[in-house]
Amino acid sequence: MTVLYDLFSWQGLIFEFLIFTFTVLVSRRYFSPLRDIPGPFLASFTRLWHVATIAGGKQSIKMLELHRKHGSFVRIAHNEVSVGHPDGIRKVLLAPNPKSPWYKLMAFPDWRFQSPLSTIEPKAKNERARWLASGFSTTNALRTEQNMDRQISRLKSWIDKYAESGKPMELDKFITYCTFDVLGEVMFSKAFGFLDNGTDIGNTIAWSGMLNMIVTCGGYYRWLLNIFLMNPLITSLTTTPMGYLGDLSQGALQERRDDPTDHPDVVNLWFENHRKHPDRVSFKDMQSANATVIGAGSDTISCATQSFIYHLLRHPEKLKKARAEVEYYRKTEGICYGRVISFADAQRLTYVNACIKEGIRVFTPVQWQLARQAAKGGVTIDGRTFPEGTLMSVNPHVMHRNYEIWGEDADEFRPERWLEEENASREKYFIPWSAGFASCPGQNIARMEMPKLIATLLRDYEFKQVNEGQEWSYEATFGLLPYNWPVYVRKTDLYAT
């Protein structure tokens, strides 16, 4: 009786808790199948090391550092190994390994709104995405071109103003306003209005960056976020955790539900499918997919656009070559005219497109651990087998800087590499969109928007950093947005009105 009493006393409970914690930590460290995988000591006991690194905003730099130190495998949590081996792409991402449970939190605004992103089993994910996919097809992306042009043209009006005033411009912000407004146009033919106002309305984009950080770290502690942020009560009390972006995009969807007029945009096709097969794609499916897209489809393009300009500013000879290419096509083929360069023209610019790809490779817009769970039978890479259920992640930034794949100059911005013959064999290691069943559905839209936007900026403007040579700042969570590199701007001789 005395022993029982002692066990349930508060001292007893503390003692039991300590014994339990000690046993868990020791078994994670010394009895896990990952016990011999190198990595930070703390990471072998707990997820906290990884979460603290994400919160520090430089997790992708840290991951690259660790892979360069330890090689192909790094243990980044008690139950997760980061894979830097080139075969990781085929064996982890392209194989039908379920996504990590981290993705389950990616239901916005709360758990009632499951999306393809939050669905982790390959078959179920494909099924959920199937009726939404046509909205992102190349054919449909092409229909949205005029919508894109409207906003790129507005961006130009702002840059013109700065060119005239000679004042420094926070180009990073305006590019992001533009990519958000383009996304609104592409999705539901309605811009968010950032370019109309020339400001981050209600600090929405800043909040979206913060939300990105909260959700990225919170994915490992789903219950916590489900209690405090992403639950039906909060959704009904406030508007949505996504604030203005969420309200406007969900409002646009609702408007379209009431007004079935044909529009050249993504939700138009979703509604077509919904009306034909309400059992296959519900209104709620569209709401959740819409929310995911708003989170995924603008910072990424802004990042790629900024990377192009930023890196070419550091390589004036390549900048000259890229602009000369536009000039050449204008003279010889009479293309690349008009206020905004058309996609058909922009895609013909071989060197410019090589620069875009290289900007994405050296500074990948999603520098996140894309994590999967080893499927039945486990996953074998480089002779090492990881048992079923092991979390295995691939970071595109780590892959894109791998010396074994890209050579000793992997860290350098060298667009010419994309034009070399041996590069064809490297294409399969270029994974900005991830790879396999969970890869980015918006890549057709991005592949169309980026060349247009970038070629137009290249043709029309000369940028110069206010503090020449100063490095930009950024925080990497799931995605990343550079900042703090203001520029002076002036129009080039090729400028088109």
What CA–CA distance (Å, rounded) separates 354 from 360? 10
Cβ closest to ligand HEM, residue 341 vs residue 445: 445
Smallest gap, in angstroms, from Cβ of residue 390 to ligand HEM?
Answer: 17
What CA–CA distance (Å, rounded) separates 48 from 70? 20
Smallest gap, in angstroms, from Cβ of residue 276 to ligand HEM?
Answer: 21
The encoded tokens of residue 427 equal 């294409």
What CA–CA distance (Å, rounded) separates 298 from 287? 18
Longest dimension (CA), the chain: 96
Binding segment for ligand HEM (CB under 6 A), chosen from 189-197, 200-208, 429-437, 480-488, is 429-437
Q: Are 466 and 168 in contact (CB under 8 A)?
A: yes
The string of DSSP codes covering 414-446 is -GGGGGSGGGGGGGGG--TT--GGGS-TTHHHH
Smallest gap, in angstroms, from Cβ of residue 399 to ligand HEM?
Answer: 11
Of 365, 415, 451, 486, the residue at the interface with ligand HEM (CB under 6 A) is: 365
Closest CA to 337 of 463, 459, 236: 459
Q: Does 184 bind ligand HEM (CB under 6 A)?
A: no
Cβ closest to ligand HEM, residue 192 vs residue 433: 433
Of 340, 356, 438, 480, the residue at the interface with ligand HEM (CB under 6 A) is: 438
Of 235, 268, 306, 434, the residue at the interface with ligand HEM (CB under 6 A) is: 434
Smallest gap, in angstroms, from Cβ of residue 295 to ligand HEM?
Answer: 8
Query: What distances in angstroms separate CA 414 from CA 263, 361, 364, 406, one per listed residue?
Result: 41, 10, 15, 11
Q: Does 88 bind ligand HEM (CB under 6 A)?
A: no
Cβ closest to ligand HEM, residue 64 vs residue 296: 296
Smallest gap, in angstroms, from Cβ of residue 219 to ligand HEM?
Answer: 11
Of 116, 241, 415, 482, the residue at the interface with ligand HEM (CB under 6 A) is: 116
Query: Tokens 């270029």, residue?
Result: 430
Q: Does 439 bind ligand HEM (CB under 6 A)?
A: yes
Smallest gap, in angstroms, from Cβ of residue 9 to ligand HEM?
Answer: 48
| 3-state secondary structure string across 64-131 | HHHHHHHCCEEEEECCEEEECCCCHHHHHHHCCCCECHHHHHCCCCCCCCCCCCCCCCHHHHHHHHHC
Binding segment for ligand HEM (CB under 6 A), chosen from 26-34, 240-248, 309-317, 433-441, is 433-441
Site string for ligand HEM, 271-310 (x = CB under 6 A): ---------------------xx--xx--xx--x------
Binding segment for ligand HEM (CB under 6 A), chosen from 1-9, 44-52, 270-278, 363-371, is 363-371
Closest CA to 423 of 409, 441, 440, 437: 409
Of 229, 366, 399, 455, the residue at the interface with ligand HEM (CB under 6 A) is: 366
Residue at shortest CB range from ligand HEM: 442
Smallest gap, in angstroms, from Cβ of residue 69 to ligand HEM?
Answer: 25
H-assigned helices in 131-265? 138-143, 145-165, 171-188, 194-197, 204-218, 222-228, 232-237, 243-258
- What lies within 8 Å, CB to CB, of 191 at 6+ separation is 150, 151, 181, 182, 184, 185
Q: Does 141 bind ligand HEM (CB under 6 A)?
A: no
Closest CA to 341 of 357, 325, 358, 354: 325
Count Cα atoms within 13 angstroms, Cβ side, for 115.
24
The encoded tokens of residue 50 equal 């990884």
Cβ closest to ligand HEM, residue 119 vs residue 465: 119
Of 374, 440, 453, 489, the residue at the interface with ligand HEM (CB under 6 A) is: 440
Cβ closest to ligand HEM, residue 37 vs residue 370: 370
Binding site for ligand HEM (CB under 6 A): 116-117, 129, 292-293, 296-297, 300-301, 304, 365-366, 370, 432-434, 438-442, 445-446
